[in-house]
Structure 1
Amino acid sequence: MKAVDDETCKVVTPGDVIGKASELSSGKGTYVSTDAGGVKLVYAALTGSLSLRSPSDSDKRLIAEVTGHKAHGAVPEPDCIVLCRVKKVTPKMASADILCVGEKAIKEKFTGIIRQQNVRETEIDKVDMYASFRAGDIVKAMVRSLGDARAYYLSTTKNELGVVSAESSAGEKMVPISWTEMQCPVTGQIEQRKVAKVEN
């Protein structure tokens, strides 16, 4: 991706490189990530106007900020919590449409990907994607980073993250009965899932 060089009224989109973290400080609407060459870069986290402002403390670096366009609604950013609907599950990952960022609905279409290594904290190599998610499941996840082609990498490794709502084959909303199982209240059928811990 091309680095942003003209700062005046520059419009950026998620994933655009703004500059090196050694030269710029990350402000609102931006985040820092390391590229393939090990260089820390400042990226745009949302669609909007880029501005560089002078630092208020001893830090000599200019602060990069992106002001979002209100028409775009909420936009996923690294470390925020999202709700998404699973579209497709493969042996290595699940793809999902992001529905909400925090408690705010989004207006644009954003895709999230939960990779096998980001489903749970332990025994990562034993994770069965088909026993963790099914198409149609509503999943609470954390945004790890901006992936490729407008797809965000999502994580459900924390206990409170995972499937929050799922339908059984009978079309009923299932009830969680353990960390790994949900049950249909009508048929009694048990299905496996990566269940989100319910907060009391």
Structure 2
Amino acid sequence: MEEVVVVTPGEVLGKATQVRAGRGAYVAPHNNLVYASLTGLRRTLSPPPNSPDQRPTVEVTGHKAHGAVPQPGSLVIARVTRVTTRMASADIMCVGPKSVREKFTGIIRQQDVRATEIDKVDMHLSYRPGDVVKALVLFFLTWFVDKLSLGDARAYYLSTAKNELGVVSAESTAVK
């Protein structure tokens, strides 16, 4: 019988050379480890007997009904919650076409706003709280600690540095 193990976001599930990342898990390209991307139960699934890749698949099934989970490389829709001189914080609302059921925090760093003239990016001119952005998930940081809030223990680094990404909805600053 398989051992039931509860895991949390950022917990190492194995080496990518030994296991494949399934739902609720992802491979970090910088160290080739498989990490949990949500809190839930870890399961290891055997590969099909005729599969050329005989590594087992490790997945995390959320404690809530399994909703969409951001993964590195995913396109997301997020609402900007706070803007500082070096970054913008956002709540991820959708991963691809699916809405999320858990709260996921995204961070857009100054260097990830656009592809050119990065040194000239003014975060306050690029985003405002309430803006809705389309972004690409770069990677997941487990122990993100912001100097102001000292709160979030996890965050997804996001990028809007492609033509098809960026603010998709914003409120006018004009007086009504």
User: TM (normalized to structure 1)?
Assistant: 0.71
Q: Which moved more, 1:17-26 or 1:54-63?
A: 54-63
Structure 1: runs of 5+ lacking an equivalent: 1-6, 173-200
Aligned with residue 106 of structure 2, among 78, 88, 112: 112
| Aligned equivalents of 1:103, 1:118: Cα separation in 2 | 23
TM-superposed deviation, 1:75:
2.5
Shift of residue 62, structure 1, vs aligned partner: 2.6
Secondary structure of 1:107's aligned partner: strand
Residue number among 43, 49, 53 corresponding to 2:45 in the alignment: 53
Question: Percent identity at matched positions?
Answer: 62
Q: CA deviation at 1:60?
A: 4.6
| Structure 2 residue 13 is matched with structure 1 residue 21 | no
Q: Does 1:143 align with 2:137?
A: yes
Q: Which has the higher contact order (CA 8 A, sep 6+)?
A: 2
Q: Compared with structure 1, are the counterparts of its residues 90 and 104 closer, same or farther at alpha carbon in structure 2 (3 Å cutoff)?
A: same
Give SS of 1:157's match: coil
RMSD between aligned alpha carbons?
A: 2.2
Tell me what 1:193 maps to.
Answer: none
Which segments of 5 or more consecutive residues in structure 2 lack a partner in the other structure? Answer: 145-152
Residue identity in the other structure for 1:97: D
Q: Which residue of 1 aligns with 2:166?
A: 162
Distance, in Å, in 1 between the alignment partners of 2:128 and 2:19 is 42
Q: How many residues align?
A: 163
**Larger Cα-atom Rg:** 1
Q: What TM-score do the two structures reach when normalised by structure 2? A: 0.80
The yes-or-no answer on 1:88 pairing with 2:73 is no
1:32 aligns with 2:36: no
